[in-house]
């Protein structure tokens, strides 16, 4: 049992962003390894919401939170399970791109995580490769509830404009406060994320270019056709991505419906990935099995 932050020894920085800094830490007494997210400057309403959501999480496909420490001087530290293989953005950079089989598996697990969140009235609002963590057995865990929200029914969709522009659904840019389904925003972001993992770069830009969070990109997402999958993908995969990347949110599939899409059904039968180990000596050979040969 970790009782306070001073029981922990910081080993390494795992990442840092808008929300704070995440460290790999070791519990001095037990030598157990955890991840610790330190949020400087104390509890804003959004930080309170993040904590409230983490406390409610209990699913194999969402990151588990063990404890929350509030320091007298205002820092908040969130103790989480350490997810060894890290986030999919980093893994994707290492391996280039993922095979369709692996993407199908990631899709299935991410949908299970989102289904769990949505069933608890939680919208994630920031699904992207850096917020999907994987274990060495390729178990996917949704992380970073830094801009997530528990839907109470009284919200105004005006405040939908949060998250990362590059992965935001078109209706969020041009809804003018009109009603839309916040849950379906997560579906768009997941679709774009999965496509990115398969093609090896952010879909709205050419390979090598960085996705800038700029107004030009917003226009493109709103005005252009959604990005197209490469021809070598299976028909099921292409159709699945099309169901996620419907610009008209009323036509976009819900998480529940996507869970019974043929692409996902075959991923469930073909439970590849799971049970395979990455991040060990065999790292490269196993990973090269998993990634595509494009
Ligand atoms: P951003 O603003 O970039 O989204 P953030 O400050 O909100 O980041 P997180 O997304 O929670 O913080 O974590 C940042 C990074 O730290 C992740 O992208 C991931 O690489 C790493 N990380 C976070 N939590 C864990 C964990 N439990 N296990 C392993 N790595 C983690
Ligand atoms: Mg993040």
pTM of the model: 0.91
- Out of 8, 10, 13, 15, mutate this one to test ligand 1's pocket (max ligand atoms within 8 Å of CB): namely 15
* C-alpha 17 to ligand 2 mean position (Å): 6
Q: Is 283 a catalytic residue?
A: no
**ipTM for the assembly:** 0.96
Q: What is the pLDDT of residue 275?
A: 45
Per-residue pLDDT of the chain (294 residues; tens, 9 = 90+): 899 999 999 999 999 988 799 999 999 999 999 999 999 987 889 999 999 999 999 999 999 999 999 987 789 999 999 999 999 999 999 889 999 999 999 999 999 999 999 999 999 999 999 999 999 888 999 999 999 999 987 765 555 667 888 999 999 887 665 667 889 999 999 999 999 999 999 999 877 666 665 678 888 999 999 999 999 999 999 999 999 999 999 999 999 999 999 999 998 876 554 445 454 433 444 454 555 443
Q: What is the pLDDT of residue 85?
A: 92
Are the CB atoms for 141 and 71 separated by under 8 Å?
no
Q: Which of 126, 213, 232, 236 is catalytic?
A: 126
270 alpha carbon to ligand 2 midpoint, in Å? 30
């Amino acid at each position: 049992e970790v009782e306070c932050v001073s029981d922990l020894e910081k080993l390494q920085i795992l990442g840092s962003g808008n929300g704070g800094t995440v460290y790999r830490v070791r519990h001095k007494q037990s030598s157990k390894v955890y991840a610790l997210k330190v949020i400087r400057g104390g509890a804003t309403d959004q930080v309170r919401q993040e904590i409230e959501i983490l406390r409610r999480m209990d699913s194999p496909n969402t990151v588990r939170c063990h404890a929350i420490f509030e320091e007298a001087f205002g820092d908040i530290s969130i103790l989480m399970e350490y997810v060894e293989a890290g986030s999919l953005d980093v893994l994707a950079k290492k391996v280039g791109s993922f095979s369709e089989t692996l993407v199908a598996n990631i899709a299935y697990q991410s949908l299970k995580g989102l289904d769990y969140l949505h069933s608890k009235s939680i919208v994630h609002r920031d699904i992207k490769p850096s917020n999907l963590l994987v274990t060495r057995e390729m178990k996917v865990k949704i992380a970073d509830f830094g801009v997530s929200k528990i839907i109470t029914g009284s919200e105004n969709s005006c405040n939908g404009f949060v998250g990362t522009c590059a992965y935001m659904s078109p209706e969020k840019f041009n809804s003018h406060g009109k009603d839309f389904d916040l849950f379906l925003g997560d579906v768009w972001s997941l679709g774009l994320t999965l496509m990115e993992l398969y093609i090896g770069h952010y879909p709205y830009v050419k390979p090598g270019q960085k996705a800038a969070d700029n107004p030009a990109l917003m226009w493109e997402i709103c005005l252009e056709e959604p990005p197209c999958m490469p021809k070598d993908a299976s028909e099921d995969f292409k159709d699945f991505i099309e169901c996620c990347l419907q610009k008209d949110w009323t036509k976009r599939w819900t998480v529940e419906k996507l869970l019974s899409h043929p692409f996902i059904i075959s991923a469930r039968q073909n439970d590849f990935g799971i049970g395979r180990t990455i991040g060990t000596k065999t790292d490269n050979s196993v990973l090269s099995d998993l990634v595509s040969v494009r």
